[in-house]
């Protein structure tokens, strides 16, 4: 059975094609203004890249904030469920998932069968999300891809107390004016994200092993800050950003209707 999972996030759109539980292809595009058009391009590109046509696909599941825009999907499933399924696919031992996406962050607890047991989500503001990090990167005139490595060069973590993106940006600008190094400011930004996620997760707790998913999982500085804050190591896979799409493709294998 060939299935496709499409995850339309606020910043990036991801797709995964699977056949009987094996990943055949993955693809990532910027979501842009027209989520529906991006979904169409994503699907057409990944299918044609495999030398297939849409008739070869037996089921499509969409997820992410823009899941309702994928009108050709057979089903729309929440990202909570899809990230849980994707994490368990990549590591069947996982019991907790931290997903930091473009506009929200989530902590998901799984039971011993891999089903969602509980979750907590921050979707009311950009603090502690990928968008927050992008704003900070612009303020520091640094490419977001350099954040992780620069944080490791810090000699201390600059204090950033605000959990609001707008106020935190003002703090960063003040630190720049005081001559604080980029490296130390970035380390402080990462610690701020870790504090936000840790406080949010305190409402439901942790069950190790813990996997971090979403694009921010590729930022080694955030991962390190989170590990220090929560006192547990985090599992991060090369497909962290694709976890939702992979989970959606897996769910497509086992659902009908």
Residues 63-110: tens digit of each pLDDT: 998 999 999 999 999 999 999 999 999 999 999 999 998 888 999 999
What's the mean per-residue pLDDT of the chain? 92
In the numeric block, which tokens belong to residue 59?
């089921």
Please answer whether residues 104 and 121 qualify as being in contact, where contact means their C-beta atoms are separated by less than 8 angstroms: yes
Which CATH code of 3.30.420.40, 3.30.465.10, 3.10.20.30, 3.30.70.2080 fits the domain covering 94-236? 3.30.420.40
- pTM for the predicted model, two decimal places: 0.92
Domain definitions of the chain by residue range = 1-91+239-257, 94-236
**Residue range 1-91+239-257, CATH number:** 3.30.420.40
Q: Give phi and psi for 107, each to the nearest 5.
A: -125, 125
Q: Residue 187, Cβ neighbours under 10 Å: how many?
A: 25
Equal CATH topology for 1-91+239-257 and 94-236: yes
Please answer whether residues 61 and 86 qualify as being in contact, where contact means their C-beta atoms are separated by less than 8 angstroms: no
Q: What is the pLDDT of residues 163-201, one digit of tens each?
A: 677 778 888 899 999 999 999 999 999 998 999 899 888
Rg (CA), the chain: 19
């Amino acid at each position: 059975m060939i299935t496709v999972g499409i995850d339309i996030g606020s910043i990036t759109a991801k797709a995964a094609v699977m056949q009987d539980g094996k990943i055949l292809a993955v693809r990532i595009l910027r979501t842009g203004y027209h989520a529906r058009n991006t979904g169409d391009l994503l699907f057409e590109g990944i299918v044609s890249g495999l030398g297939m046509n849409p008739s070869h696909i037996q089921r499509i599941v969409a997820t992410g904030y823009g899941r309702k825009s994928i009108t050709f999907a057979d089903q729309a499933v929440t990202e909570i469920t899809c990230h849980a399924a994707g994490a368990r696919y990549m590591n069947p031992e996982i019991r907790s998932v931290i997903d930091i996406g473009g506009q929200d962050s989530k902590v998901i607890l799984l039971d011993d069968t891999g089903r969602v047991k509980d979750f907590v989500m921050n979707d009311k503001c950009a603090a502690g999300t990928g968008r927050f990090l992008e704003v900070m990167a612009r303020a520091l005139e640094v490419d977001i891809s350099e954040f992780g490595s620069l944080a490791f060069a810090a000699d201390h973590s600059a204090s950033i107390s605000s959990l609001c993106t707008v106020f935190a940006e003002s703090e960063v600008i003040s630190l720049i004016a005081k001559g604080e190094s980029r490296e130390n400011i970035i380390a402080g930004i990462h610690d701020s994200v870790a504090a936000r996620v840790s406080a949010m997760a305190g409402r439901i707790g942790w069950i190790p092993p813990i996997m971090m998913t979403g694009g921010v999982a590729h930022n080694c500085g955030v991962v390190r800050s989170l590990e220090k804050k929560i006192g547990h190591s985090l599992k991060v896979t090369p497909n962290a950003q694709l976890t939702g799409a992979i989970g959606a493709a897996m769910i497509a294998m086992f659902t009908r209707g």
